[in-house]
Amino acid sequence: LEIVSLNEALEKEAGAFVSRDDSDINALRSAIFQLPIEYREPLTMQVLGGFSVDEIAGELNLSASAVLTRLFRARNKLRTLYGLSAVADGLCGEVPP
């Protein structure tokens, strides 16, 4: 049998140790960071920070309806990653605070 250096094999085949599930999460993470900041910020505040829409609006100096629009659009962009259809975006323009 051929003797293979484990270290070299690990370096070469790093990708093989990444499960499909981890790949999905990595792809999603990458997509989140590619979102424009105005979408990414309220989304992470809501999902990760547990902020309410009103709290996000207060922090970002936006109206609640503007926050709702941004949250909707952020998720809509991320949905397409999963091969899910995007929801029709018939939202009106953001309302200034």
Partner 1 sequence: MTCEEARRVIGAEPNSSSRELAEHVQECAACAEFQLEMLALDANIRRALEEPPVGTRFRRRVTARPRWALAASILVGILGVLVVWALRVENSLAHEVVAHVIEEPQSWTPTDPASQAEVAEVLRKSGLLLEAAPYEVMYARSCWFRGHFVPHLVVRTAHGLATVLILRDENIGTRETFHEDGLFGVLVPSAHGSIAVLAADGAQLDDLAARMQIAVRPMSNAAAAG
C-beta separation of 69 from 94 below 8 A = yes
Range 14-33, binding partner 1 (CB under 8 A): 14, 17-18, 22, 24-26, 28-29, 32
User: Looking at beta carbons only, is 22 or 36 nearer to partner 1?
Assistant: 22
Contacts of 87 (CB under 8 A, 6+ apart): 72, 76, 79
Q: Which residues are within 8 A (CB) of 38 and not within 5 positions of it... i.e. 6 or more apart?
A: 70
Q: Say whether residue 90 binds partner 1 (CB under 8 A).
A: yes
Judge whether 28 and 44 are in contact, CB under 8 Å. no
Tokens of residue 37, six digits: 């900041």
Instruction: Give yes or no for residue 95 binding partner 1 (CB under 8 A).
Output: no
**Which stretches of the chain bind partner 1, using CB under 8 A?**
7, 10-11, 14, 17-18, 22, 24-26, 28-29, 32, 43-44, 46-48, 50, 53, 67-69, 71-72, 75-76, 78-79, 82, 84, 87-88, 90-91
